[in-house]
Amino acid sequence: MNDSIRLFVAAPIPEKLKAELGELLQAFEHPAIRFMPPQNLHLTLYFIGNVPPQELPRIQEQLQTAAHQYASFTLQLDALELGPKPHAPRLVWARFAPNPVFEALSRHLVQALAPEPAQPLKTIPHITLARFRKDAPKPAGLPPVHSPTPLQLPVSSFSLWQSELASPHPIYRVLQNYPLS
């Protein structure tokens, strides 16, 4: 019996942006690429991992505190591309331009929620759109795709999500929403 829950903090994606990204994602049709279901798309702020259920109230309190300290912000899409390492990609992501509020909020969450004091890594705002199949050769040479019109992701809240590992995709459930101030 598993006595932990798998959690992460992420911002929801508006349906209109999901549709726009879906159109751009068609450039990545390949037998080795497995697209994420639209309901799983999110902007990760911090992956917490497996925690005992009794930790949930402390985590929720920390998230409430963080939400009150940060204002809404907007991310600008740079490109859809293979990532996170171009020479050894594992996925297709929508990568957004750096944003100081996103970076500060991510850093705050790491410092507040990491099980041990941790130095936050430089986070890249992104949405994972697809992953590579393990049973097929990885695609090579797929160039980045840029939107013909500027695409933005307004972030006015974030949520605590629970992740249950399943095949072919994990099952995500929002446990609580936190509006930014």
Q: Which pLDDT belongs to residue 116? A: 74
Options 1.10.10.10, 1.10.645.10, 3.40.50.1400, 3.90.1140.10; CATH for 5-179 is: 3.90.1140.10
Q: Which pLDDT belongs to residue 2? A: 63
pLDDT class of 6 with cuts at 50, 70, 90: very high
- pLDDT reading at 118 higher than 80: no
* pTM of the entire predicted model: 0.91
pLDDT in tens, 30-56: 889 999 999 999 999 999 999 999 999
- pLDDT reading at 1 higher than 50: no
Residue 66's identity, in one-letter code, is A
The set of catalytic residues is 42, 126
Instruction: Give every CB contact of residue 136 below 8 A, 6+ residues apart in sequence.
Output: 31, 32
What average pLDDT does range 89-113 have in this prediction?
94
